[in-house]
Each structure stands twice: as structure tokens, then as C-alpha cells.
Structure 1
Amino acid sequence: KTRLPGTGGGNDISSLTHMIVAMRHERRRFVDKVDFVTSPGFLDGGSSRRDRGLLAGGMFRVVTDLGIFGFDDKTRHMKIVALHPGVTLEQVQDNTGFELLHDKHIATTEVPSAAELAALRKLDPDRLYIA
């Protein structure tokens, strides 16, 4: 596999568009603070993105093997939108290095249909994200 230097355009994309990121949900990836930001999301929360001149874009969703996450409209802190079947709030929080926001009732994602699963497996032949 080839590795390119730098962020490969990640900063440009995240600075100008609404992002959806897919990744494994691990405590080492969901940390309270990062050492270096290559692709800005909501930075310090609140209006900090806009205050720094990023008028468009931002994170929309993060999709992991445990659930789907969004961001609070005011604080911009990460919030659980839905958990995958069989996943508990405690399991997600144990795999997150900061306190996640959530509503009293958390939705459950639907299991993909056979056709959807076949299409996803075709997009992920190495089974990095799809079992």
C-alpha cells in the first residue's frame, strides 16, 4: 500500500463540507484531546469553528461498529444518535475516552437487508468494517 505525505486533502474536505466518518469504535481512537488536528471538526465546541473562519462544513455523523453519533447543536459535543442491535450504552461509554451525550431514549439501528449487506461486503472485500 502506498502512503502519501500529509493529510491527503483531509483538511480541505473537512473545512468545506459536512463529513461522515466511518471507523472502529476504540477508546484509543475516541480520545478527549488530540495532539494534532489535520481535519477540523468542531474544534473546541460551541462556535469555535466559525470563530476560526471555517464558515461551512463540519462533522455530520460518525458511524462505528457500535453505533451512529452526531453532535449537539449548541455545544457541538459528540452525541449518540443510535446504537447497533445488541450494543449497550455502557459498552459504548467504556470504549470512549470522554463522556458522550445521549437522550433518555436511544434509537437502535435497523439490521441491513440481504441486498444491502451484499453491497456493503462488495465495498469492503477485506472485511475491515463489515463482518
Structure 2
Amino acid sequence: MMIVAAARALRDGTRCFVGIGRPSVAANLARGTHAPNLVLVYESGTIGAKPTRLPLSIGDGILAETADAVVSVPELFNYWLQPGRIDVGFLGAAQIDRYGNINTTVIGADYRNPTVRLPGAGGAPEIAASCREVFVIARHDPRTFVDRVDFVTSVGYGRGPGDREALNLRGRGPVQVITNLGVLEPDPTTCELTLTQVHEGVDVDQVCAATGWPLRVATAPTTSTAPTPTELTALRTLRATIGSGAP
């Protein structure tokens, strides 16, 4: 349901900067169902990639083989991303806080001696800063949804209203956080993530219990529509292709 909900959020014809993992699965599902004209952009410099299977990494050759264009990484970031030419940035998170700040760097208070050292930033800080809007996908549990991230890898709304503007960040920031339990969106006044949708079979109390802060809940949160047979078939086909044909 999390992958299907994330795919549904992507509109046909938009330009989407895709992260590997769940964002890539969701983006390719969207392109294979309701958004055939979705333009997939990967950090390695591929624009308009149309992979016939899920790529193993941003350096998977199938992305370059199927792309409309392949440019250098500096060109991708300096010409396409930073000037605001990418509509949607699609990111994952190891930690995310109530203001949509993302941590993919370290777990633990001591940066030099962390409990866990994570893969790091990659292009995520620039994606979060410059894409017109950002979607985040993550499993919903108190370890991931924390009151305050241990390290701000990618800025969401900082500590609240005005922080993005103070940092001169071009994009709107995270507009949806999609989880296995529901969908959170920033409050238009406070910028705090608010539960606006629960998935079928999930209740609000379950989402609140899985969140590491007192979660705000919309007045009347909606319930996600169950995946259609078309979506399920397309998703199962995609998952079956992971790694197939790769060297």
C-alpha cells in the first residue's frame, strides 16, 4: 500500500528526481500505470530513463541505455536541479522529524562516534532544497519518526515557518510523507507534519503510537483506496524483475 500510495502521488508528465530503493519502485510503478509520460531523472545524469526492470543503483547501465539524454553530474545538478527545473524530488529517510527534516547520515548524538553510520547524503540535500516539491517514503515506526533528527542531512522545514526562506531554498519542501500506515502533510501555518490519510485497515491511534512525537491529526483524515488489480499486477511484475538481466 505504501508503494502504491506513493506511485499515485506522482502526476503524469512531471519531471521526477528519483532515489534508489522504494522511491524508484514507486516511480517506475507510476510510469507503468497511470503516468506513462513521467520523466524519471536519476542522480547519475540520466534524464528520461525508461528501465525495463528495477535498477540496482543509480549507476545501473539500464538507466543510460533507456534514457532520453545522459549528462554529467555537475550539469544535472547545476543546470537542471538547482534552477528549479525538476518538479518532484522523491526521497527515502532513515529518520524524519515533525518538520520533515531528513537524516541519512548518522544515528546517535556524537557525529564522530555514532551508534550507526548511514550511507550519507548523496544528492539528497540539493534535491530537498531545489525541487519544486518533495515526496518522502519511509516505514512508520518511532525509530524513524523522531521528534528531532540526530543529524539534518536534508532540510525540510527546519524548526518551523520561515526557516526555508531564511536559507534561500528554492523548493517548497516536503509536501507528502508516505508510509506503510498513511500519509502526512505539512500544516500550512505551522509546517508541522499532520496525518491526513490512513491506509485501509489502519486506525489513527495506530499511527500516533508509531510516531515519536504527539502527532497532529487532520479534522477528518481520509482512508486510502485499496490497490487495484492493475496496480498489484504491475507492482508484482516490477518486483520480479529486481536484478534480472544485470551483470
Q: In the aligned structure 2, how far is the partner of 1:72 from the partner of 1:122?
A: 37
1:123 deviates by: 3.8
Q: 5 Å matches for 1:62-101? A: 62-101=177-216
1:49 deviates by: 1.3
Q: 5 Å matches for 1:1-131? A: 6-17=120-131, 18-125=133-240
Partner of residue 129, structure 1: none
Q: TM-score, normalised by structure 1?
A: 0.86
The 3-state SS of whatever aligns with 1:76 is coil
Match for 2:123: what amino acid? G
Q: What CA RMSD, in Å, does the superposition of the two structures yield over aligned residues? A: 2.1
* Number of residues of Structure 1 aligned to a counterpart in Structure 2: 125
| Pair member with larger Rg | 2
1:52 deviates by: 1.9
The 3-state SS of whatever aligns with 1:104 is strand
Match for 1:10: what amino acid? A
More relative contact order, 1 or 2 (CA 8 Å, 6+ apart): 1
The 3-state SS of whatever aligns with 1:12 is helix
- 1:111 to 1:75, Cα distance in 2 relative to 1, 3 A: same
Match for 1:78: what amino acid? L
- 1:12 to 1:81, Cα distance in 2 relative to 1, 3 A: same
Structure 1: 5+ residue stretches without partners:
127-131
Q: Could you give the per-residue CA deviations for residues 43-97 of structure 1, whole angstroms, max 9, x where no partner exists?
A: 1111111112213230010111100111001100001111001111110000000
Q: In the aligned structure 2, how far is the partner of 1:28 from the partner of 1:56?
A: 27
The 3-state SS of whatever aligns with 1:49 is helix
Task: Find runs of 4+ consecutive structure 1 residues off by over 4 angstroms.
Answer: none
The 3-state SS of whatever aligns with 1:39 is coil
Q: In the aligned structure 2, how far is the partner of 1:16 from the partner of 1:65?
A: 27
User: Could you tell me the percent identity over the aligned residues?
Assistant: 37
User: Comparing both structures, which one devotes a greater share of its residues to helix?
Assistant: 2
Q: In the aligned structure 1, how far is the partner of 2:150 from the partner of 2:227?
A: 36
Q: In the aligned structure 2, how far is the partner of 1:78 from the partner of 1:5?
A: 25
Q: In the aligned structure 2, how far is the partner of 1:77 from the partner of 1:123?
A: 34
Q: TM-score, normalised by structure 2?
A: 0.47
